[in-house]
Every structure is written in structure tokens, then in C-alpha cells.
Structure 1
Amino acid sequence: METPKSERPPILFGANVDPTADDPRRPVELARAVEEAGFDLIGVQDHPYNAGFLDTWTLIAVLAQATQRVRFFPNVANLPLRPPLMLAKAVATLDVLSGGRLELGLGAGAFAEGIVAMGGPRRSAGEAVAALEEAMQLIRRFWSGERSLHFQGRYYSAQGARPGPRPAHSIGIWLGAYRPRMLRLTGRLADGWIPSSTYAAPEQLPAMQRQIDEAAQQAGRPPRAIRRIYNIVGQITDSGPGWERGTFRGGVQDWITELTRLVREVGMDTFIYWPLEDRLPQIQRFAAEVIPGVRAALSTP
């Protein structure tokens, strides 16, 4: 069923910038190109145990300094390796320094062996979700301007912490979620949902959306208050179209048709483009040809 235009949030477009360490200039150059191309967002994946990656938060600070308009988010922050109060302070600090250009993508923590190798906790799936819920409470309270923060949970605590600085704008918490408990948590508490096409193919999205929407309604929240961000991996090609193993290949019109369908029929409202190769020319072509085409298609009945 198509979502009425009046109920859709503004459609946003973003691009992935990998935190690759082999050429430190490359992420900065790519971020500047993404901004110049007119994208709204830049996502940076957070895998601290990857020896070939720069630290995501340090990199975002540099990228924010190198740009002026585009917004950033970790895609998604690895909570077990990012203590929530320190994470809240880091996000608020970058938001203040960048003039309100940070959102928080947050995950319960995948790749358990890598997390443990870096000194993080080993948690079951249920424990990871419960810890994430505690962390969300702590982070939001840290940003709220409370004078003294007291909290005692099973996984995290605060004993008179003094929050500050307050963020420059109301930061959204966007969850990377796939399983039922995480989807329900997204519906109850999150400001956004970030699935990736390689883990959740388009045909899987409607059922996931229903779980989020039902949880939101049960919590007294309007489902449309939750932004739906889709990391879409693929390539603009001269052949296709088609999905294969969570990646989409096709010409410009194929991309326009598919993204328009994902908005109208599935309810997604934000797309983060992850080109498989030729990153810079692909991102530039996506911005110059695909984005205007999708906006034009959505402007017509």
C-alpha cells in the first residue's frame, strides 16, 4: 500500500565513506566530493577491530572540519566498544563543533570475536539488546541537560555524572536492527532504522516494517516519526536491472524506478549509496542523475 505524500518525511540521500587507513587522504577527498555533489548525509562504518580502518569517531571529526553542510552519522556505532556516556559526550561535542551536523547510528554489536579481542564484553543476543536499551536511556538523559545523572542498570550505571555539553540540535538515534527484539526496540524508542541491503533484501523490508510500526503504535508513537534509512549496495551499470545477494545493478532509470518503488510501496525515506567499485564517479553519477530522477518521480501522482 502506498504511503500518502502528506505522511512521508522529507526524502534524504547519503553516501558511504569507508574509514580506510591505507590512504588517509582518500576519505577526506571523498567526503568533500559527496558534499559538493549535493548529498544530505555521509555514513561511516564503525569496526574498531579492523586493522585496516581508521577510528570512526576521529575520522568523522576530521571530515566535519573538512566540510560545511553535509551531515554525518556512524553506520553504526559499535556500542560494546563505545561506553554510552563517553559516546554521548563525543557525539554532543562533534555536534557542537560541526554546527549541528551529527546523528547517532547505533548498533548492539556484531562480530563478537572482534569485540572481545578489543577488550569488549561478550554478550548473548538478548543481553546485547537489553544493554542497548539501557544505553539509549543514558545517552538521551546525558543530552537532556540534567544537572546530575544517576542511573543503575544491569549493564551500565551513572553515579552523579555531570552531563555536557548539550548538543547543538536534537540528535536522532538510528538503530541498525534486523531481528524481532531489535525491531521492537526500534519501534518503541528509536528515531530511525538502518538496515543494509546485503542483510535485509527489499522483499524482507515490509515484514520488518510491520514489526516496527506495531511496536511504535503500542508505545503510543506515530510510526512515521521513525526515519527509515536503507544502506543500498550496488552499481550503476549499462545492463540490468536486478537484485543479486542484496546488491542492485542497473542503469540510471532502473535505479530511479527501484528507489521510487521503495519509497512509495515499502516506506523507506532515506538512501545511503554504497557503490561496489569506482566510488567517486559512481557517487557523482548517482547525485547528478539518480537523485533528481527520484525526486521528480515522487513529485508526480
Structure 2
Amino acid sequence: MRTVYLNGEYMPETEARVSVFDRGFLMADGVYEVTSVLGGRLIDFDGHTVRLQRSLDELEMRSPISREDLLEVHRELVRVNEIDEGMIYLQITRGAPGDRDFVFPDPETTAPTIVLFTQNKPGLADSPAAKKGIKVISIDDIRWGRRDIKTVQLLYPSMGKMMAKKAGADDAWMIEDGFVTEGTSNNAYIVKGNKIITRALSNDILHGITRAAVLRFAREAQMEVEERSFTLEEARTADEAFVTSASTFVMPVVQIDDAVLGDGTPGRVAPRLREIYLEESVRAAV
């Protein structure tokens, strides 16, 4: 039985209740973050709080909690749920104004809803998938135009993962005008020669917290990084490919559709970046 946090209170998960009029339930009017826990400490916490505030600002939604209190809630949930390796899911919605309406409710009279819960994931850092790599398929990117806001509108990414599962793959990369945007829940990269290539930040992709850290570590390790769009065909002929996210860190990709990359096993760059990321992130964890 997990302890969860709901609107200022810690409670058993079976007792947590949210109104049927909550706009997160009715209109996907909410944002979220997922923070990994390694060794009982939080990975990239500051990056997630900064992005959370950006998402709230873009949707003209107020935060119901301060950064300091949010850190305390994360730490308390890790403690009471005895999480050594796992994740903390955070969601803030615009709340329940009392009835369904397309117009935003007055933020001064409607309190946002905030929910946090843990997911216990032993062996998160030592993932078997990272050793063998994953397979991805390509699908059309038909999402809305503000993918940089981390909203709870996750139906199409969920459908993409189901398409991948039915095709015998692990995930999907989304394609728009012939170019790879990102994965269903991660940022996408290819490696050509010694150069790491990934799409530049814009409204088209999520501004990944793990992405920012990995690119910083790559540059510090004297790896060449180029932020630009790349086509699906370019990806299919790359030397390596990988994805990054808060829950998978750096995950090698060994096959895109029917194209096997290299010899079908993780190359040199992605495993090294994963090693560096885990080492540095655990050192800086709070």
C-alpha cells in the first residue's frame, strides 16, 4: 500500500479522491513531471521544477506549492514508501471549478489539484534493455503543436507504444515531414562517425531534462554535438542511435523499422554516455 500526496495531505493510495469535475479528468488540462530516484535520492530535481514552472506559465496555471515544499514532499514520499530505485510522478491540473466549461476558471477562486505518487523500480539503473538495445518503429506525428509543454495529453504517445508492441518492437519514433521529431516519451538521437545529432529545441519537441544533462556531459567529454533535424532515412543508415528520458536515462536503439544499425548491438557512444550520465547524476542527486 503506497502513501500518496494529494492537495497538501499524505494518505494511503486507496483513500485518494479527485473530483469528477477536475479539468485534468475532463479536458487533460494539466501538466506533469517524472523524477527518477537512485540510491534514495532525486535525479535532476531542479531541472524538473524549472520545466514544471515553465509548463504552468505557458498554460497560465498557478502552482499550488513552492519549490522548497515540493522538494520536501518528494523526499517524504521516498522515505515513507522506502524507494531506493524508482520514480516519483507529479501532476498538477487546473482543478475543479464546479462544473464543466471550456473557458478557464478564475485562478483566484479555483485551487489547482496536485498529486504525487511513487513507483518502485528495482534495477532501474542496471536495465537489461540498455545492454542489448531496443527496437523502434516509425509512426506519423499527429500531435498538437505545443509539444514543449509537458501536458497530460498522452493518448497518442500511448497509442504509439501500442503500435510498437503489436509490431514486436519496444517503442516508436514520430515522423513529421520526413523528419524525426522524438520518441513517444523520450528525445531521439543518431550518431554518425563521432558526431551526436539531435533535433534542436523548439515547440516541436519536449525540452528534455535528461537531454540537457546528456548533451552537457557529452560536450564536457569532448564529443561533438550537432543540434539539427534529421530524416528517418538518415536515422536508418546511422552508425548508432539512442533515446534519453528521466526513466530510461540513455537507452541504445539497435533497429529502426527493418533497418538494423551496425551489428545490431549497442555501439560505443550510447553506453558511454549512459555511464557518464548515471555517474554524474547520482553524484549531484539531492
Query: Normalising to structure 1: TM-score of the pair?
Result: 0.24
| Structure having the larger proportion of residues in strand | 2
Query: Normalising to structure 2: TM-score of the pair?
Result: 0.25
